[in-house]
A and B are shown apart, each in its own frame.
Chain A
Amino acid sequence: MSLFGTLSVSASGMAAQRARAELLVQNLANADTTRTPEGGPYRRKDVVFQSQEVASPFGSLFDAQINQRAVGVGIADVVTDNREPDRRYLPGHPDADKDGYVAFPRVNPAEDMVDLMGASRNYQANVSAMSAIKDMIQRSLDLLRS
């Protein structure tokens, strides 16, 4: 029965949305960070999603029988925003350049919050899908009891 593979699809969606939410939270936390190990201000990061086949525990065994495989989602890439940093005039700041300007990350909290809401809603949608599928599996198992 391919329902178990469907659970992996929803799990991949949850994992992807969680990774996205983690990056968004990281962006928000570093909205004012002017120092990074790489040097310069923090740069906003985002994920690129890509649909990919999920490996289910019995996948290889049933592949021959079920010709269309479940398509889950994965993270293809983490992109760094290369926009020029936001320069603010703060002459007293330790990271100020000779003209008194400090490079701040170009992070727009509103943008990240909206994306975070989207990630959270999508995570919930995947959870709903998983619980619906779990319910279907449970129903099938109940047939053996009665």
Chain B
Amino acid sequence: MFDRIAGSLERYMTLLGERQKLVASNIANADTPGYRTRDIDFQGEFRSLLEGGSPAVIEPGGLPIKNDGNNVNLDRESRLLAENALRYNLASTLARGEIRMLRAAIQEGKTS
């Protein structure tokens, strides 16, 4: 039981890290001519990552392209930045709970 939850959390956090990397790239390239927004299909990748593998980079649709061929929307990226950080915080809190549980089991075993 422990392994499965901790493993899922780890993959969730890895995927959030990957997504955050793409968001940071998008923000850094907000003024680069011809640059296109890069993202990953989070839900789909989370399911497939549970079986192992690395996420595929996609170009999200529906973003208007500016005159210089760039389609980075800073509002969208800011939202994703905040959302990823919050999700990561949540996942790390849960992971800490898991670790604490394991630690408690070890400690209890020691004292008795």
Q: Is A91 among interface residues, defined by CB-CB distance under 8 A?
A: no
Interface residues of B, dominant DSSP: helix
Q: Is the C-beta of B30 less than 8 angstroms from some C-beta in chain A? A: yes
Q: Per a CB cutoff under 8 Å, which of A66, A73, A126 touches B32? A: A73
Do A67 and B32 form a contact, CB below 8 Å, given A6-B20, A72-B25, A139-B89? no
Contact with A along B80-112 (1 / 0, CB 8 A): 011011001100100110011001000000000
Give the residues from 120 to 146 in chain A that come closer than 8 angstroms, CB to CB, to chain B. Answer: 121-122, 125-126, 128-130, 132-133, 135-136, 139-140, 142-143, 146
Q: How far is the CB of B51 from chain A (nearest CB, A)?
A: 17
**Judging by beta carbons under 8 Å apart, are A146 and B28 in contact?**
no
Q: Pick from A45-53, A79-87, A94-102 the stretch touching chain B.
A: A45-53
Closest residue of chain B to A12, judged by CB?
A: B28
Q: Which A residues contact B (CB, under 8 angstroms)? A: 1-3, 5-6, 9-10, 12-13, 16-17, 20, 48-51, 66-68, 70-73, 118, 121-122, 125-126, 128-130, 132-133, 135-136, 139-140, 142-143, 146
| Residues on B facing A (Cβ under 8 Å) | 13, 16-18, 20-21, 23-25, 27-33, 35, 38, 54-55, 57, 74, 77-78, 81-82, 84-85, 88-89, 92, 95-96, 99-100, 103
Listed from nearest, the 9 A-B pairs whose CB atoms lie closest are A13-B28, A139-B92, A49-B32, A132-B85, A71-B25, A6-B21, A9-B24, A73-B28, A129-B24
